[in-house]
Structure 1
């Protein structure tokens, strides 16, 4: 009887241990500055079911600017308030990201075309001051863009370009002058250092969005294809990568920081769930 009791006790202990490990694995690893397992969740209105890029003006968090990948509209809404306003800037198309840089709104289309108009015109229902930039970028598919207010530079990251292979992702830099975008160089991200963190990138990284952390100056890159967050230093050297839990991150398509260093990631919705923006409060390291 005693031996049987000991066996039952050991079995119960093993079950508890397995359940504990499973719980830890399901939560996953997370940066020390942000708990990726405990977001504040903001469900989007139906108009932003397919939300893609998000941005703030100069890091001010009172208004979120967003686009979705079907209509040529710039949306404006406040955190937690589903009432949205929008301005029509172009015809329907596959729009992937938005940045506000030096009082200009810049929107990226998946084919690499860019659209720009004065930030002051974002309040209008119909925006007729739009300038289109075609063929600035090599042929390919683009989804990630970030406007650096300090340097005045616009960073664009290729998602799928013929110039790249499984081990490299190319990005392009433009300087935002008063009425033009001037080429200012390019950069590369080596995919090999990401592979130990996620085997999903064996056939290359497919970035969805990029943003620079205003506190650490690190680059944060999300990939919806791989459900992955990659962090590099200021010079694009990979530091770490975190697989994202699919129960939390349905389809991460946009990323932004406010001036306090809080992290925001937008997710497209589907037939079951609404689109959303997840906020991760910056923690004291």
Structure 2
């Protein structure tokens, strides 16, 4: 049974959607994909958010313990998807509760979602895209596979296209130290090559500042009883995208990594502008990003082993 508050809306101007997979082109050859920018360029700034101090925190209900993606749907609402059931959850920020649900597909490993006009696009980890509208749900093969482990999805309003961030293999002859973000063709939902953005993991790891800087005091980097550094105090070990979002004013691309608890900012050309670790006490497993039209940022985290409940934290942009 479907309970929904969604109203059919016209698709965004000039955004064309396919009517069937038959119109889609063959899967692209990733071997030809190379980045059109230099993501390993030096970091030039800091992220404009204080991730240690959320402006607000929202505790998700038990059915969203595996919250894997969020999108800001306007009118004080967030919409979320979790990675087990094919269901959308409309969450009222004012009432702090789920106000409606929409069943769009079978059970599966769903990772992220984006809104385009009145339709919802939902990404499964094997690269399959689900488009849900008032008339039903259609599936599309993007050309990505389980090896790519597609985890992040967002709508880029400037180009009127979808971006997909891959947690796994970047594709083709790209090395394991790279992570790719692909743009989807707006008429077929197939990935376009070369990659729209290419992340250099080594450059990101080198760019993330360690707490306290180079002269960190011993008490800040102290080890726990097991002789290991506290997770939120140690340096970044890698970067595997779990979410992607585009800043509404600057067009900059923000990429989240759950496994390493970090967030990076790229400019429109793909240059790495800033990188920051996220505090482990707030983010057991950061999985979702969503901007408001004003540039404030929501970050969702799955339930931790101790908390048992997923959270969404709001951060105001510092200008």
TM range (shorter): 0.7 to 0.9
CA contact (8 A) 1:166 1:205 kept: no
Say yes or no: does 1:96 pair with 2:115. Answer: no
Task: Evaluate the alpha carbon distance shift between residue 85 and residue 97 of structure 1 in structure 2; reply closer, same or farther with a 3 A threshold.
Answer: same
The alignment's TM-score, normalised by the length of structure 2, stands at 0.70
1:161 partner SS: coil
Alignment of 1:266-277 (within 5 A): 266-273=300-307, 274-277=309-312
How far apart are the structure 2 equivalents of 1:135 and 1:266? 25
How far apart are the structure 2 equivalents of 1:213 and 1:44? 24
CA contact (8 A) 1:101 1:149 kept: no
Match of 1:207 in 2: 241
Match of 1:70 in 2: 84
Alignment of 1:87-236 (within 5 A): 87-118=102-133, 121=134, 129-138=136-145, 139-161=147-169, 163=171, 164-177=174-187, 180-185=188-193, 186-187=195-196, 188-198=198-208, 200-201=236-237, 205-236=239-270
1:256 partner SS: strand
Specify which of 277, 280, 283 is matched with residue 315 of structure 2.
Answer: 280
1:200 Cα deviation after fit: 3.3
1:175 Cα deviation after fit: 3.2
1:196 Cα deviation after fit: 1.5
The alignment's TM-score, normalised by the length of structure 1, stands at 0.78
Specify which of 44, 47, 55 is matched with residue 60 of structure 2.
Answer: 44
Specify which of 282, 305, 315 is matched with residue 248 of structure 1.
Answer: 282
Greater fraction of residues in helix: 1
1:69 Cα deviation after fit: 0.6
CA contact (8 A) 1:101 1:148 kept: no
How far apart are the structure 2 equivalents of 1:31 and 1:44? 30
Residues 122-153 of structure 1, C-alpha deviation per residue, up to 9 Å, x if partnerless? xxxxxx61111125225421101111133210
Match of 1:86 in 2: 101
2:84 partner SS: coil
Larger Rg: 1
2:236 partner SS: helix
Gaps of 5+ in 1: 1-29, 122-127
CA contact (8 A) 2:287 2:301 kept: yes
Residues 5-47 of structure 1, C-alpha deviation per residue, up to 9 Å, x if partnerless? xxxxxxxxxxxxxxxxxxxxxxxxx946311111110000111
Task: Evaluate the alpha carbon distance shift between residue 169 and residue 83 of structure 1 in structure 2; reply closer, same or farther with a 3 A threshold.
Answer: closer
Say yes or no: does 1:35 pair with 2:50. Answer: yes
CA contact (8 A) 2:239 2:262 kept: no
How far apart are the structure 1 equivalents of 2:144 and 2:99? 32
**RCO (CA 8 Å, sep 6+): is it higher in 1 or 2?**
2
CA contact (8 A) 1:189 1:237 kept: no
CA contact (8 A) 1:190 1:237 kept: no
Q: How large is the RMSD of aligned CA atoms in angstroms?
A: 2.1
